[in-house]
Amino acid sequence: MSDLSSLICDRIRDVPDYPQPGVMFKDITPLLADPAVFTAVVDELAGAYDVDKIVGIEARGFILAAPVAYRAGAGFVPIRKKGKLPSETLEESYDLEYGSATIEVHRDAFTEGDRVLIVDDVLATGGTAEATVELVRRAGAEVVGVAVLMELAFLKGRERLAGVDLRSLVIV
């Protein structure tokens, strides 16, 4: 395991049975509160891709994706839960580890052919990431990759992202 991966592991707290029995919740708030680790994560992701836009997924994805966009000199595009974006949207519905949701992106969020990196905190079943890839492509952009802090390998989310470059800073 790399130095950064072990720092990340040390700063992610396991919370059993949240938000429902049987789920081991990966809480990133200790990592966010540690300036050295938070900065190292943002720098690592911002330096690894040549993209026009970074996409962040509400809500935890925003916390990582916005500083990555700033550091990379890229634009930031929010993917929001249904009903929060004010202009015309595209939407996708999906299931995740502990529920289901519908997400949206503004129809005009991208310039045709924009190269895009999707950033989120956790990849679990992959439902959220798969729906986001679909939305970005429907909106006319190219998905260069998906980057997450932590991948829960036993939920096999990676299998739902066939053909997509997936980078997980930690795989558990």
Ligand X SMILES: O=P(O)(O)OC[C@H]1O[C@H](OP(=O)(O)OP(=O)(O)O)[C@H](O)[C@@H]1O
Question: Pattern 48-87, binding to ligand X, x per CB under 6 A?
Answer: ---------xxxxx--------------------------
* 124 lies in the binding site for ligand X (CB under 6 A): yes
71 is catalytic: no
Task: Using the minimum distance from each CB to ligand X, give the nearer residue, 111 or 137.
Answer: 137
Q: Are 18 and 81 in contact (CB under 8 A)?
A: no
Specify the residue for token string 């991208």: 110
Q: How far apart are CA 125 and CA 136, in angstroms?
A: 19
Report the sign of the C-alpha dihedral through residues 6, 8, 11, 12, in that order. negative
The continuous run of DSSP H or E covering 10 comes out as helix 3-10
160 is catalytic: no
Minimum CB–partner distance for residue 57 and ligand X (Å)? 5
Identify the active-site residue in 97, 104, 130, 151: 97
Q: What residue ranges bind ligand ADE (CB under 6 A)?
A: 23-26, 96-97, 122, 124, 152
Q: How far apart are CA 36 and CA 96, in angstroms?
A: 31
- Active-site residues: which are they? 60, 97
